[in-house]
Structure 1
Amino acid sequence: MASKKLSLTHKIVIGMVSGILLGVLLQLTIADHPWVDAFLVNGLFTVVGEIFISSLMMLVVPLVFVSLVLGTSALSDPAKLGRLGGKAIALYLFTTAVAISFAIGAALLVQPGEGMDLSSDASFDAEEAPSFGQVLIDMVPRNPIDAMAEGNMLQIIVFALLFGIALTLVGKPGERLKNVFEDFNSVIMKLVMILMSVAPYGVFALMARLFADMGFATIGSLAKYFVLVFVVLILHALVTYPTMLKLLTGLNPMIFLRKLRNAQLFGFSTASSNATIPITLETATRKLGVSNSVSSFTVPLGATINMDGTAIMQGVATVFIAQVYGIDLTLVDYLTVIATATLASVGTAGVPGVGLIMLAMVLQQVGLPVEGIALIIGVDRLLDMTRTAVNITGDCMVTTIIGKSEGQFDEQVYNNPDADLSNETSATASINDTPTKGSTGGS
């Protein structure tokens, strides 16, 4: 009977497509009608969509903190934590460098800005990105409660790591408290399951509002740039990541991509890696078979510093803006762009509007006018949604590679097509019942 029911993926796709079609229909017909704008687009769709986003964000901080504390406390050797961090950061930076190099190469080949006239009234006020030293200082929370209230993910990660280590070292009190955290984690997981059951309606509202608001003239004027960025994003997700996964683990990449559909759809609809953390964590542990002790660390870290999708946008946008303004960049300039964007993926983590801030920083490094960003803002929302789906794919790819290399990975769960979020017992039994896999249970 269960096989005859629509899966969650199918329901989300139906909600997404229905929302897009309705939004396009409204845009082409009665989008300017006051009633449609006030009560439908900026009324019902906005309320339902924002409630959906808020409910996702509601779970992010408690889920990340509890999962990371449990994952850290499960590591009997503290040296593993440093090894995990080193591998994760190295892989995330490597994929970012590959992404922006790929994007620059594609942009030089396609020439998206060729023949386009500069808009004389284009303007953009860039926020200043923090220095690397300030980022290091800001990683340590002065007030962990305040960090949780603000959703500062780097500070939450640091505090959770220290708390988990202390939980392991303190002995019996730590064991008692760990049991409380495991129960807490089970409750949060159930909340995630409840939220996922209403996700198709939230996705429908988000898509309907977006496409009802978006004018097609904006997309048409930047079609070449838009299509190029979109194609490079898709190729990076479907070629670069599966190739790395196959080379470094020997796993079947088609299984990986198939099991990531739900997380990718959530990421696309929310345009937020942080908001999708609960779904990404669930996918990594219950579908891909990575131990909670690894995924609870690498997934939140990836949502914070993994900027592959943004790097692709920056690479294409840099070439596009240079061509529009008639400025020739040298090989040294392009190498500077690659290095700056790669390092900035860590340096600007946690800053609101991080993609545009990073792009402003990159443009300044090679002497391009920051005002050029205004030319691409119109189509950035749709690309931002795709970038988020790509980033989530990268987070799970790195998590799987590290889990496999650390022996914190269950290949039977990975290869099991029934290891689904809707089947909690079968998908997690081998992780939860095998101490050597670093499991903490409940996730």
Structure 2
Amino acid sequence: MSNVVAKSNLTIQILIGMLAGIVIGALIQMSYDESGDFVFSLLGINVSFQGLFVQGIFEVGGKIFVNSLKMLVVPLVFVSLVCGVSSLSDPSKLGRLGGKSLALYILTTCIAITFALLVALLVSPGEGFTMPTEAQFQAKEAPGLAQVIINMFPSNPIASMAEGNMLQVIVFSLLFGVAITMAGNHGTKIKEAFESLNEVIMKIVIIIMNLAPYGVFFLMAKLAATVEMEAFVNILTYFLLVFVLLIAHALITYPLLLASLARLNPVTLLLKMKETAIFAFSSSSSSATLPITMATARNKMGVNGSVASFTIPLGATINMDGTAIMQGVATVFIAQVYGVDLSTSDLIMVVLTATLASVGTAGVPGVGLIMLAMVLQQVNLPVEGIALIIGIDRLLDMTRTVVNVTGDCTVACIVAKSENELNEAVYNNRSL
């Protein structure tokens, strides 16, 4: 009972931190003068709201919180994945887990972008839009498909961990875990050491989760103090369309898959995702939220550690359903703004490119814009059109990260149920 109360209190504290951050940030922005700041005198020293709060307290507190989460990503993925793979008594099980997970992630991404394109063509969010002359955006060059596949395999696993290249870390972890199972008694000693290390890392996750209300407060306060509402006026239709599609995908597509493929109550999953969703919304990063997503799948949904350790990190790396929805709507929006008619072959190319681009893309804030640049180039649309939506992409990025992590847990539950590795008593216990 005490654990239930503690978790309930943490959720309430996180919500209070988020709402307090929004209110205080908005009040600070309302106090700005024509210069976009508010300066007051304190003990004869001029102090600005921007310097003291936005770029000071909020920036520092938010960055520390996000960095604390990111700090755990590589060790958590490496250690938990090694533990999960080394605990598989049947080597063929690894192939089944990989095949099922990859198929489901690609399926949901295809559904997401196809649905987004169809609805965007129906609504026509870019019709009648006046193109601003100052719109500019410099996109980084996106790697080709061949390079993406090559980049999955590390030449230096230590460098991959230092750089946070998650696909390379996953590949090395899988190989290391398989080698442990093949090493006999020597491997058993290494496996026991990794299992102990995994318990220590999970304790660190709990420590950081207890600090979450403060971190969420800082992140939301800075966002509310810096977002210019005028930036939303001309593209309100685009914003609302992407937002509605994101919510629909989370509340319709995932529940249908969960109910039809795993015979599980989707409402239970959605209720248990609330804390993880707040983390994801605040950080805008699937990778930064990974420790929380992993803990939710294992402790609240009853997904066996060997399955969660494989499917969740893989999903944080390749599952970009929310980003795919944004790309579909944004492509149609930019095409209509520039007066370009997209052919059927163009639309098919958008679906294929966006789906393949999600593989190997880092789950960090703003990465969707880089992926969008590649999609636009494939259908000969001006990349400069990204500047039209960059002003509001931060809010949408936060929402689509929630969709992505929800998809990760959904796939983890489906795969676990198919492998008889799901504790349904834990899953159905809504008090957890």
- Give the shorter-chain TM-score range: over 0.9
1:394 correspondence with 2:396: no
CA 1:352–1:393 in structure 2 vs 1: closer, same or farther (change >3 Å)?
A: closer
1:68 correspondence with 2:81: yes
Q: Is the 8 A contact 1:129 1:348 kept in 2?
A: no
Provide Cα deviations, 1:21-60, integer angstroms capped at 9, x if missing partner: 1111111223612410001110000010000001001111
Q: Distance in 2 between matches of 1:131 and 1:80?
A: 31
Q: Distance in 2 between matches of 1:353 and 1:386?
A: 12
Provide Cα deviations, 1:256-284, integer angstroms capped at 9, x if missing partner: 10011111110010000000110000001
Q: Distance in 2 between matches of 1:365 and 1:141?
A: 28
Partner of 1:264 in structure 2?
A: 277
C-alpha displacement at 1:111, in angstroms? Answer: 1.6
Q: Is the 8 A contact 2:152 2:360 kept in 1?
A: no
The amino acid of 1:218's aligned partner reads: A
Provide Cα deviations, 1:289-337, integer angstroms capped at 9, x if missing partner: 1111111011111111111000000011011111111111122221221
Partner of 1:32 in structure 2?
A: 37
Partner of 1:304 in structure 2?
A: 317
Q: Distance in 2 between matches of 1:382 and 1:245?
A: 27
SS of alignment partner, residue 286 of structure 2? coil
Provide Cα deviations, 1:148-170, integer angstroms capped at 9, x if missing partner: 11111011101111111111110
Match of 1:196 among 190, 209, 231: 209
Partner of 2:18 in structure 1?
A: 16
Q: Is the 8 A contact 2:26 2:224 kept in 1?
A: yes
Partner of 1:229 in structure 2?
A: 242
Q: Distance in 2 between matches of 1:348 and 1:200?
A: 29
Q: Distance in 1 between matches of 2:234 and 2:60?
A: 31
C-alpha displacement at 1:83, in angstroms? Answer: 1.4
C-alpha displacement at 1:204, in angstroms? Answer: 0.4
1:329 correspondence with 2:331: no
- Gaps of at least 5 residues in structure 2 are 40-47
Partner of 2:103 in structure 1?
A: 90
Structure 1 window deviating more from structure 2 (75-84 vs 257-266): it is 75-84
C-alpha displacement at 1:242, in angstroms? Answer: 0.5
1:357 correspondence with 2:359: no
How many equivalent residue pairs? 419
The amino acid of 1:33's aligned partner reads: F
C-alpha displacement at 1:177, in angstroms? Answer: 1.4
Q: Distance in 2 between matches of 1:43 and 1:285?
A: 37
The amino acid of 1:22's aligned partner reads: I
Q: Distance in 1 between matches of 2:119 and 2:329?
A: 8
C-alpha displacement at 1:104, in angstroms? Answer: 1.1
1:315 correspondence with 2:332: no
Q: Distance in 2 between matches of 1:335 and 1:164?
A: 39
C-alpha displacement at 1:75, in angstroms? Answer: 0.9
Match of 1:145 among 139, 158, 171: 158
Matched ranges for 1:22-421 at <5 A: 22-30=24-32, 32-34=37-39, 35-346=48-359, 348-349=361-362, 353-419=366-432
TM-score by length of 1: 0.92
C-alpha displacement at 1:418, in angstroms? Answer: 2.9
SS of alignment partner, residue 138 of structure 2? coil
The amino acid of 1:9's aligned partner reads: T
Structure 1 window deviating more from structure 2 (201-210 vs 128-137): it is 128-137
SS of alignment partner, residue 24 of structure 2? helix
Q: Distance in 1 between matches of 2:343 and 2:154?
A: 41
Q: Is the 8 A contact 1:53 1:270 kept in 2?
A: yes
The amino acid of 2:243's aligned partner reads: F
Q: Is the 8 A contact 1:116 1:324 kept in 2?
A: yes
C-alpha displacement at 1:224, in angstroms? Answer: 1.0
Q: Distance in 2 between matches of 1:152 and 1:203?
A: 26
Q: Distance in 1 between matches of 2:365 and 2:22?
A: 27
Q: Is the 8 A contact 1:311 1:342 kept in 2?
A: yes
Q: Distance in 2 between matches of 1:197 and 1:352?
A: 23
Provide Cα deviations, 1:7-31, integer angstroms capped at 9, x if missing partner: 2221111111111111111112236
TM-score by length of 2: 0.94
SS of alignment partner, residue 358 of structure 2? helix
The amino acid of 1:300's aligned partner reads: P
Q: Distance in 1 between matches of 2:141 and 2:364?
A: 10
C-alpha displacement at 1:354, in angstroms? Answer: 3.0
Query: How large is the RMSD of aligned CA atoms in angstroms?
Result: 1.5
Query: Percent of aligned positions with the same letter in both sequences?
Result: 61
Q: Is the 8 A contact 2:239 2:392 kept in 1?
A: yes
Structure 1 window deviating more from structure 2 (289-298 vs 327-336): it is 327-336
Q: Distance in 2 between matches of 1:234 and 1:7?
A: 26
The amino acid of 2:324's aligned partner reads: A
The amino acid of 2:385's aligned partner reads: G
Q: Distance in 2 between matches of 1:370 and 1:143?
A: 34
C-alpha displacement at 1:229, in angstroms? Answer: 0.6
SS of alignment partner, residue 166 of structure 1? helix
Q: Distance in 2 between matches of 1:340 and 1:142?
A: 26
C-alpha displacement at 1:101, in angstroms? Answer: 1.1
- Gaps of at least 5 residues in structure 1 are 420-443
CA 1:54–1:349 in structure 2 vs 1: closer, same or farther (change >3 Å)?
A: closer
C-alpha displacement at 1:67, in angstroms? Answer: 0.3
C-alpha displacement at 1:349, in angstroms? Answer: 5.0
Provide Cα deviations, 1:163-194, integer angstroms capped at 9, x if missing partner: 11111110111111111111111111111111
C-alpha displacement at 1:146, in angstroms? Answer: 1.2
CA 1:59–1:133 in structure 2 vs 1: closer, same or farther (change >3 Å)?
A: same
